[in-house]
Chains A and B, each alone.
Chain A
């Protein structure tokens, strides 16, 4: 009689044991499957989040300090760029200029009849594409192109302003320093800008009529680094050309961010008293934290389940194996080898495991979506009512609301996840059967036969 037939007869005749084992394995595998599915979903969600939000770090002067001895200038930027794994940077400046000939989207100053109603915020960029608003896809380019390194006197306007003023790509507008704007006592020269692109500020800051014009996102004007330098020269003189908004560096592989940040911190001649390095902005962190918590929780859960499962299963199988010592002795007295008997016992468990696994697949497929949603609501989405304001790359406020439109957290059993769980299950059974079989392996066949007589 073949080992397969023996295993088949055992499983089909010992219905009670088979039923109990089926129940235990089904529960165990369901838990493992759901645990790994949720764990993987979480890991994927955080990886995606890292890609989308976490692939950069910012170095800027620490304005909280009384005196700042080191600023972020081109030399510093160049040194950081020499570190391996950094693919691009965007140096940032902020200026307030009066745009006499443009009409801005009205806010508080218009209401108050203040001449600051004509003051706009100019955001200096090396590459406007890398500005947080565009990088995080809060804004998108509607026409023309982005500001690139090497541009001189180029600007990006919002769709609202462009339409309101009848400006198109290729048109020119001017701006100047006035008394209202940063510290210029005498109105400065006119700065001329070519409109090279128009952005769609699809996302609207929670503005109201009390918001100053310069804080309304539609009134933001992105300009190139050269224009920004010219304004600074005018404003502070030519010896103070550092980037006032600091610089943001983009790494090639977001996973290596922490290592690269450590390299930057180790750079010689960096005065970390004056400079502030921020990796993982708080938008990223507040999204990441609950995900990491959930990931950790499910890892732990799966670990605990696996351990409890192994213990429970081994105990049960050991108990049953004791009842089979005699049987093993009898089979061995007919010249059947120990290993053949071990194989039989393993096959028996596998014969129960396979249907249990299929059942577990069905159960967890119908349950994991629901469980995942429930867990997500309980851990991740709890942060929903936060009103954190993120001071982003350019010190511009970014509401997290916009970042919350993360793709739905959907727990799905992946093929590889199921295969992994199945493999773990088979391994578990192998270990448990092997452990239980020790009772038999360490005895001589004669002892097996006499043990209960």
Chain B
């Protein structure tokens, strides 16, 4: 069963200048997808539509066969998707544990430990963690929510090569071990190499 389906989606910020034009895609659980494309071609825009942060001007997005608006965007975001951002977007007045607790009622520590944080780090001020550790917290937060879809926008964009590889591995394990549908937007070919499916998004020529 497809976790997420994009049917003939159009999106524009200004009338007559579409950013997305007739997009058709489908995503399954247990796989990692990578969306590649030049800067400004609409990757982030597409991801925000997939994540129910915005609605297409035309076309449909279906989550397990139901349209997002039918589920309700808020409920959809709450139950069915989780985000990982380039700049981590951790809540700065919460510890890693508390950040993870944002999305789950379950005990947050084990997820953090599984992703390689120490118990001491799990209680530290998030801003005092390295970028790689912060991104691990963000992924732990996405995993803990139990949402079937994880959306990551340039998750390794701010990280050095070695750390980027670790984070890519973690995202892949999210697809394989945690059986999630992982959709990653990136510039990086190294990330793309790890993908089950690579989607190339073209810039719309004006």
Q: Which residues of A approach B to under 8 Å, CB–CB?
A: 1, 6, 9-10, 13-14, 326-327, 329-337, 444-446, 449-450, 453
Contacts and interface: CB of A to CB of B under 8 A. Distances in A.
Contact of B51 (A14, A331, A333): A333
Contacts of B85: 330, 449
Given A1-B102, A446-B48, A334 B54 contact: no
Contacts of B173: none
Nearest to A14: B93
Interface string B25-50: 00000000000000000001000100
Nearest to A453: B87
A335 B44 contact: no
List 8 tightest A-B contacts by C-beta distance, closest first: A335-B78, A335-B77, A13-B93, A446-B53, A446-B48, A446-B54, A445-B53, A330-B89
A298 to B, nearest CB: 40
B75 A9 contact: no
Given A333-B51, A337-B74, A326 B89 contact: yes
B135 interface: no
Secondary structure of the A side of the interface? Answer: helix
Contact of A335 (B54, B76, B92): B76
B168 interface: no
B91 interface: yes
B179 to A, nearest CB: 20
Given A9-B94, A444-B54, A446-B54, A333 B83 contact: yes
B107 interface: no
A126 to B, nearest CB: 78
Contacts of B51: 333
B102 A333 contact: no
Contacts of B145: 334
B53 A333 contact: yes
Contacts of B76: 335
Given A9-B93, A326-B89, A446-B48, A1 B101 contact: yes
* Interface size class, chain B: 20 to 34
A441 to B, nearest CB: 15
Contact of B53 (A6, A331, A449): A449
Given A9-B98, A335-B77, A450 B44 contact: yes
Contacts of A10: 93
B89 A334 contact: no
Interface centre among A326, A330, A450 (most CB of B within 10 A): A330
Given A330-B89, A334-B78, 9 more contacts: A329-B89, A330-B91, A331-B91, A332-B53, A334-B82, A334-B102, A335-B75, A337-B74, A450-B44
A9 to B, nearest CB: 6
A321 to B, nearest CB: 15
A444 B53 contact: yes
A335 B74 contact: yes
A334 B77 contact: yes
A453 to B, nearest CB: 7
B77 A332 contact: yes
Contacts of B48: 446, 449
